[in-house]
C-alpha cells in the first residue's frame, strides 16, 4: 500500500452519478446488502473518497452480517465501486472477485474462514471495471453459497465478505510508488485527519495489503486497525466504508415436487399434494388422494436411488404389482387412515438451521384389495427440500 497517497486529494472528494443498472437486485425477491451510506439510487452527484493507495495485488472488502436465523444464501450479484477524482469516466481496471464465508475478527486481524469463490481461480476470468461509479457483475450462475458457517462473535451473526482484488490497474500514470488516481472509493465526504468511528465503523471495511511497495505482507485487516510502517491508515489515509454491495437469495428454498409417476388402481393413480412447504420450525402437510379403502402407508426416505430392495426405481412386478415402481427408500413408514378416499400426512420440522438443504423423498402405498396380487398400488413420488 502506498501510504503517502492513500486518500486521494485529502478526502478524495469526487462527483459521480452511479449507473442505474447497478442499483438494486436483478430479481425483486433477492436480498440487497449494503453497508455504505450512499443511496441505492443517486440521481444527483454524491461526494466520495477515492483511496488511491491500494495497489495491484491488494484487496478491498466489506464484511456483511447475516442474522443467526437466516439460512444459507447464494450470491447473485456483486457491485464494485471504481472512481477517479473529478468524476473522470472511462479509467479501467481488472479485478478478481473473492467471496469468503465464516469471517471472524480477532482484534484488528481477520480469520477469513473459507474462500468459497474466486473469479480468477474458479473461472480463469477477471471483472473489468470502469470509473466513475458502480460496476455490476451477475454471479447468479456461479453457485456461490455463503452462510453455512455457524454464527460467531458479537453480535452473534454469520459473517461473509465480498472482496475485490486489483489484478491490473490500467491507469496510464499510476504506480505503487506514486499512487493510482483511479481506485476503489468509500462513502466518505469529509476532509479530516482523525479516525471517526461513525464514519469508519469497525468490523465493516477490510483490506489485504503489503506494508509498503514490495514490503512485508500484512494479510487481512480491519481498516480501523490497519497500519503502514506502524502508522494507522484510518484518518488521513482512509475514511468511510467501501461502497461494495451484493445481492443474495435463499440457497435452499423450501420445495416439494413430484419426480416420478405412480401406478393406477381402482380409483386411478393416487397423488401426493403438499398443502404447505417443508420449512424449519413449521409443519409440512401432505394430502394423499384416490384411496379406494381410505388406507395408505407413507414411505419416507433419504434416497431415490438405493434402498434395501436394491437400486431405485424398483419394479414391483415380482411382488405382485405389475406396472408399479417403488421410487423411494422406505427409511420411515407411517400407517394412515383417512376418509372420503383421501388421507393426510404431517411432519413438524424442528427449528434447526442445520436441516436446511436436506432432501427427503416419499411415496404412498394405496391399499386396494383385488386390484393385483399385492393388493396395493403406489402413488406418484415426491422430493422435498427443507428450507428456511
pLDDT digits (tens, 9 = 90+) for 51-85: 999 999 999 999 999 998 888 999 999 999 999 98
What spatial distance separates the first Cα and last Cα of the chain, rounded to whole Å? 42
Give every strand in the sheet of 185-186, ordered side by side: 13-14, 48-50, 185-186
pLDDT of the residue at 46: 67
- pLDDT at residue 23 in the model: 54
Give the span between the Cα atoms of 46 and 13, in whole angstroms: 9
Residue with more model confidence, 87 or 184? 184
Q: Cell numbers at residue 32, please? A: 440487497
Helices (H), 281-385: none
Residue-wise pLDDT tens digits, 196-209? 999 999 999 999 99
The pTM of the full predicted model, rounded to 2 decimals, is: 0.81
For residue 43, pLDDT over 70 is answered with no
Q: Is the dihedral of CA 81, 85, 87, 90 positive or negative?
A: negative
* Structure confidence by residue, pLDDT tens digits, 76-117: 999 999 999 888 889 999 999 999 999 999 888 999 999 999
Burial class (CB in 10 A: 0-12, 13-18, 19+), 172: exposed
Q: pLDDT tens across 185-197, in order?
A: 999 988 778 899 9
| Half-sphere exposure of residue 31: CA atoms within 13 angstroms, side-chain side | 15
Q: For each of the domains in the chain, give its residue range(s) and CATH number, in order of start.
A: 13-250 (no CATH), 255-385 (2.60.40.10)
In 10 A of CB 106, how many CB atoms?
Answer: 9
Is 32:108 a contact under the CB 8 Å cutoff?
A: no
Confidence band of 21 (pLDDT split at 50, 70, 90)? very low
Does position 163 have pLDDT exceeding 90, yes or no? yes
Considering the chain, what percentage of its residues have pLDDT values greater than 70? 93
| Contacting residues for 296 by C-beta, under 8 A, at least 6 apart | 270, 288, 336, 338, 343, 364, 365, 366, 367, 379
* Model confidence pLDDT, tens digit, residues 335-364: 999 999 999 999 999 988 889 999 999 999
Instruction: Kindly write down the DSSP assignment for every residue of 69-84, as one continuous string.
Output: TPPPEEEEEEEEEEB-
The rounded distance, in Å, linking the Cα atoms of 143 and 107 is: 31
Mean pLDDT of the chain: 91
Q: Could you tell me what percentage of the chain is helix, strand and coil, using 3-state DSSP and rounding each to the nearest 5?
A: 5, 45, 50
- Please check the confidence at residue 45 and state whether its pLDDT lies above 80: no
- Whole-number pLDDT of residue 11: 35
Given a cut of 90, whether residue 236 has pLDDT beyond it is no
Amino acid at each position: 500500500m502506498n501510504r503517502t497517497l492513500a486518500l486521494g486529494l485529502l478526502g478524495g472528494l469526487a462527483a459521480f452519478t452511479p449507473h442505474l443498472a447497478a442499483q438494486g437486485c436483478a430479481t425483486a425477491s433477492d436480498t440487497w446488502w449494503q453497508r455504505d451510506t450512499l443511496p441505492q439510487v443517486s440521481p444527483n452527484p454524491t461526494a466520495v473518497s477515492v483511496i488511491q493507495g491500494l495497489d495491484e495485488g491488494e484487496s478491498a472488502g466489506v464484511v456483511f452480517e447475516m442474522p443467526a436465523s437466516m439460512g444459507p444464501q447464494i450470491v447473485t450479484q456483486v457491485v464494485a465501486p471504481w472512481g477517479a477524482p473529478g468524476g473522470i469516466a472511462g479509467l479501467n481496471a481488472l479485478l478478481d472477485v473473492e467471496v469468503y464465508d465464516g469471517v471472524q475478527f480477532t482484534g484488528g486481524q481477520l480469520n477469513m474462514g473459507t474462500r468459497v469463490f474466486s473469479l480468477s481461480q474458479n473461472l480463469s476470468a477477471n471483472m473489468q471495471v470502469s470509473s466513475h461509479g458502480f460496476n455490476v457483475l451477475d454471479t447468479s450462475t456461479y453457485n456461490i453459497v455463503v452462510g453455512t458457517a455457524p454464527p460467531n462473535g458479537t453480535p452473534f451473526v454469520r459473517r461473509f465478505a465480498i472482496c475485490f482484488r486489483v489484478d491490473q490497474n490500467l491507469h496510464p500514470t499510476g504506480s505503487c510508488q506514486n499512487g493510482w488516481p483511479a481506485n476503489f472509493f468509500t462513502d466518505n465526504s469529509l476532509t479530516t485527519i482523525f479516525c471517526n468511528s461513525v464514519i469508519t465503523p469497525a468490523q465493516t471495511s477490510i483490506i489485504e495489503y503489503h506494508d509498503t511497495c514490495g514490503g512485508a505482507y500484512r494479510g487481512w485487516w480491519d481498516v480501523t486497525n490497519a497500519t503502514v510502517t506502524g502508522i494507522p491508515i484510518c484518518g488521513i489515509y482512509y475514511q468511510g466504508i467501501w461502497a461494495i454491495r451484493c445481492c443474495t437469495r435463499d440457497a435452499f428454498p423450501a420445495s416439494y415436487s413430484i419426480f416420478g409417476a405412480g401406478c393406477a388402481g381402482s380409483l386411478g393413480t393416487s397423488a401426493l399434494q403438499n398443502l404447505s412447504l417443508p420449512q424449519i420450525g413449521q409443519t409440512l402437510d401432505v394430502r394423499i388422494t384416490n384411496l379406494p379403502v381410505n388406507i395408505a402407508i407413507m414411505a419416507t426416505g433419504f434416497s431415490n436411488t438405493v434402498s434395501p430392495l436394491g437400486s431405485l426405481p424398483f419394479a414391483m412386478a415380482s411382488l405382485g404389482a405389475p406396472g408399479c415402481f417403488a421410487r423411494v427408500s422406505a427409511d420411515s413408514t407411517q400407517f394412515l387412515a383417512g376418509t372420503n378416499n383421501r388421507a393426510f400426512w404431517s411432519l413438524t420440522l424442528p427449528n434447526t438451521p442445520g436441516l436446511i438443504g436436506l432432501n427427503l423423498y416419499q411415496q404412498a402405498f394405496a391399499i386396494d384389495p383385488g386390484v393385483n396380487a399385492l393388493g396395493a398400488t403406489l402413488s406418484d413420488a415426491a422430493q422435498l427440500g427443507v428450507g428456511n
